[in-house]
Amino acid sequence: MVITAIRADITTLIVDAIVNAANASLLGGGGVDGAIHRAAGPELLHECRLLGGCPTGEARITRGYRLPAKHVIHTVGPVWRGGLHGEPGLLASCYRNSMDLAASSRLASVAFPGISTGIYGYPLELAAPVALACVREKMREHDGVGSVVFCCFSERDLVIYQDLLDAVRLH
Ligand code: AR6
């Protein structure tokens, strides 16, 4: 299993699926969601409309349309409300359900943004360990998903993921 962290715009990545940090309507928004819909084109919104939304913690899959990625896995992260309102469990569900969908769709490579860590306010230094633990657990469970990339928008975010990945490698 290969887990890496890079600094990039997730809409440029050539992978089987990129994950979208969506909202429960699945009808687009700001942040990475807006960037993905702009790059994929209006066909993505059309397919999302047919899905009828997605509850927090769950995930849905669509095609990638004009994106280089073949598919988009849309997941809805929790809004950060201080950490005592079930946020870690819901965030873990986002990563686990996204990985389960990738495996059941026979996808080998997946790229994740920092779900909930932008507009939804989840501190990345608390979210990244949850992301990494869930991805590792699911990669052990499903050997089909061989490659996962944590796609960071800022240098600071990349350092946080790289430090975590280094710590895991040293064990
Ligand atoms: N590529 C990679 N990462 C990105 C990109 C990009 N093009 N753009 C932003 N990020 P956010 P959330 C990073 O706010 O917190 C939307 O309106 C960003 O720096 O996109 O889950 C939805 O519709 C941050 O690290 O998602 C929801 O309403 C991470 O992606 C709401 O925002 C996630 O930030 C979801 O908020």
CATH number of 120's domain: 3.40.220.10
What sign does the CA torsion over 37, 93, 3, 123 have?
positive
**Number of domains within the chain:** 1
**pLDDT number for residue 71:** 99
Residue 21 DSSP label = E
Whether the CB of 67 sits within 6 Å of ligand 1: no
Report which protein residue has its CA nearest ligand 1's atom 34: 118
**pLDDT number for residue 143:** 85
The domain in which residue 38 lies consists of: 2-170
Q: How many CB atoms lie within 10 A of CB 14?
A: 11
142 — pLDDT class (breaks 50, 70, 90): confident
Report which protein residue has its CA nearest ligand 1's atom 10: 32
Whether the CB of 10 sits within 6 Å of ligand 1: yes
Whether the CB of 90 sits within 6 Å of ligand 1: no
170 — pLDDT class (breaks 50, 70, 90): confident
pLDDT digit string, tens, across residues 62-89: 999 999 999 999 999 999 999 999 999 9
What sign does the CA torsion over 31, 37, 143, 3 have?
negative
pLDDT digit string, tens, across residues 82-93: 999 999 999 999
Q: Residues 30-35: contacts with CB within 8 Å, 24+ apart? A: 30/119, 31/118, 31/119, 32/113, 32/118, 32/153, 35/9, 35/10, 35/11
Instruction: Please give the distance, rounded to the nearest whole angstrom, from the Cα atom of residue 128 to the centre of ligand 1.
Output: 14
Residue 48's identity, in one-letter code, is C
pLDDT digit string, tens, across residues 5-41: 999 999 999 999 999 999 999 999 999 999 999 999 9
Say what percent of the chain tops pLDDT 70. 100
Is the pTM higher than 0.85? The answer reads yes
Whether the CB of 21 sits within 6 Å of ligand 1: yes
- Atom of ligand 1 at shortest range from CA of 115: 21
